[in-house]
Amino acid sequence: MKKKITLILLAVFIFLYGGTVTEARSVPSATKGRDYYEERGEIVWEVPTQSKVIALTFDDGPDAHTTVQILDLLKQYEAKATFFVVGNRVEKHPDIVARELSEGHEIGNHSYTHPPFQNINSSRLVNELNKTQDAIFQATGIRTVLFRPPGGSYNESIVRTSKDIGMLTVLWSWHQDTLDWRKPGVNRIVKKVLDNAHNGDIVLMHDFVPTSTQTVEALRVILPELQKRGYSFVTVSELLSYHDKSHKFIEVNH
């Protein structure tokens, strides 16, 4: 009788434990969250720092009108920023990307055609990244190590594949997603950034939003106000160098 109970308990244990193991094995890598990737230095959302530095980032460009206006404003306030460019747009406006670099800004890779990234396979991903690297190289003579997936989509495969070709995945501070691509109104964009500004923030904006000048107008308010509060605007690579801990990211020097 005792033996029978032991066997039953063993069976229950195997059932439960076996179930747990199966579940653990089948947990998709997409469930790995921010803590996992941040700890490993594989994705950056923002940088913990005592220094009053902020990284402004602009996605989806270059654009013949908006990007140029943004560059003029950045120059006026001696601000440096990072442009996550789309490869097929770089091919249309290589001169603008060259200007970005020559004025001290940083270029990042934001894919070639800006496709949905949720279920992208690695060969398509590599193709999207490499074609953009080539376009950036043609325009500027440099290759970037920064990568921002369209829509901020990430999973184990995206992080691994981009890391394997020497790129660091860069997202943005959750409290600094301006949603400027939705054209929410200049004041909403301004308020989002100014109300939430913290040391080490990575601010998400877009320099290509068809028929919208809201981002440019918002910057006319944001730049002088944050400067008045003592912030400096730095590129993403420079921001990483302000990290409080001696955090090991993949090499970000060009």
SS3 for 29? helix
| Among 37, 46, 49, 60, contact with Zn ion (rule: CB under 5 A) | 60
* Cβ atoms of 122 and 73 closer than 8 Å: no
Determine the Cα–Cα distance for residues 6 and 157; give it in Å rounded to an integer. 44
* Cβ atoms of 34 and 61 closer than 8 Å: no
In the bound state with Zn ion, the residue whose beta carbon lies nearer, of 52 and 183, is 183
Site for Zn ion contains 59 (CB under 5 A): yes
In the bound state with Zn ion, the residue whose beta carbon lies nearer, of 53 and 158, is 158
| End-to-end CA, the chain | 72
Site for Zn ion contains 106 (CB under 5 A): no
**How far apart are CB 21 and Zn ion at their closest, in Å?**
39
In the bound state with Zn ion, the residue whose beta carbon lies nearer, of 57 and 161, is 57
Find the helix packing angle between 186-196 and 214-228, rounded to 10°: 30
**How far apart are CB 220 and Zn ion at their closest, in Å?**
23
Determine the Cα–Cα distance for residues 138 and 124; give it in Å rounded to an integer. 21
207 is catalytic: no
Q: Count of residues binding Zn ion (CB under 5 A)? A: 3
Residue 210 token pair: 């068809």
206 is catalytic: yes
Site for Zn ion contains 150 (CB under 5 A): yes
Catalytic residue ranges: 59, 206
Task: List residues near Zn ion by CB under 5 A.
Answer: 59-60, 150
